[in-house]
Amino acid sequence: MGACSLQVEYPGRECMLEQNEEFFHLVTDDGPERIRIHEYDRVYDVPGLYEEVVYNRLQCDSPHVITGLLKDAIQRHGDMKTPLRVLDFGAGNGIVGECLQDAVETEAIVGIDIIDQAKTAVHRDRPDIYDDYYVMDLSEVDEGDQQKLDRWNFNALVTVASLGFGDIPTRAFVNAFNLIENRSWIVFNIKDRFFSEDDDTGYNKILQQMIGNSLKVYKKHHYCHRLSMAGEPLHYYAIVGRKENDF
């Protein structure tokens, strides 16, 4: 992806905002446009902009970290299901799908996102990655959606950088979890605060209830997801586990 022609201006290091408030300016002939990183519809509209801001400038490495941990876990736990039929939930413009294809043997990769612009960006920038890509809201799964998804017989759920912060709500995450077969891979990351007593998103409670009951955790890895605009590390947990039964 060529991002070099984009002109992006970043706020100074004194800019200490919550992650979902962080912004930059895209400079074009029309002048500077202020865009929040979490305005995904606008960010995906511009080829290479997400890659430039999140991956080049803010050094996000989560897709590689997560898919690398999955690869290690597959090698260690030979009894688990492969090749993978993956549901990439909150797939965005497809970077995780691309890393999955490189890291592990897949039979199918299907993306879901809640906005049309993500699907459009995937078709524009990474047309060969996904076997199918749905724009869906899994907060409510109707019969039609259920049928579309059931036919893939998913044996892995992967969700990167999409939980909390007003993105995927707990209900949708639980519905996605329940769409996947028992004894499947469950792989996701989440900001460390949302998986702690300080959480105010509901994720900590849900995850604590899941673990040991519906979800067996093989690996819980604390790492730097990306830098903030001020250059500070933002820490997440990466979780690799196995679904035992519906939640």
**Site residues, ligand SAM (CB under 6 A):** 40, 62-63, 90-92, 95-96, 112-115, 118, 137-138, 160-162, 167-168, 172
User: Residue 115 Cβ, how far from ligand SAM at the closest point, in Å?
Assistant: 5
Contact 115, 50 (CB under 8 A): no
Separation of alpha carbons 136 and 199, rounded Å = 26
Q: Identify the burial level of 43 via C-beta atoms within 10 angstroms of its C-beta, where 0-12 means exposed, 13-18 middle and 19 or more buried.
A: buried
The strand ranges marked E within the chain are 8-9, 23-28, 31-36, 84-89, 106-113, 132-135, 156-159, 185-191, 215-227, 233-243
Q: Which C-beta is closer to ligand SAM: that of 78 or that of 144?
A: 144
Does the N-terminal peptide bond of residue 83 adopt cis geometry, omega within 30 degrees of 0?
A: yes
Contact 157, 84 (CB under 8 A): no
User: Residue 94 Cβ, how far from ligand SAM at the closest point, in Å?
Assistant: 8
User: Residue 218 Cβ, how far from ligand SAM at the closest point, in Å?
Assistant: 21
Q: Which C-beta is closer to ligand SAM: that of 23 or that of 216?
A: 23
User: Residue 91 Cβ, how far from ligand SAM at the closest point, in Å?
Assistant: 6
Position of minimal CB gap to ligand SAM: 92
Q: Which C-beta is closer to ligand SAM: that of 41 or that of 245?
A: 41
Q: Which C-beta is closer to ligand SAM: that of 70 or that of 112?
A: 112
User: Residue 166 Cβ, how far from ligand SAM at the closest point, in Å?
Assistant: 7
Per-residue DSSP letter, 232: -
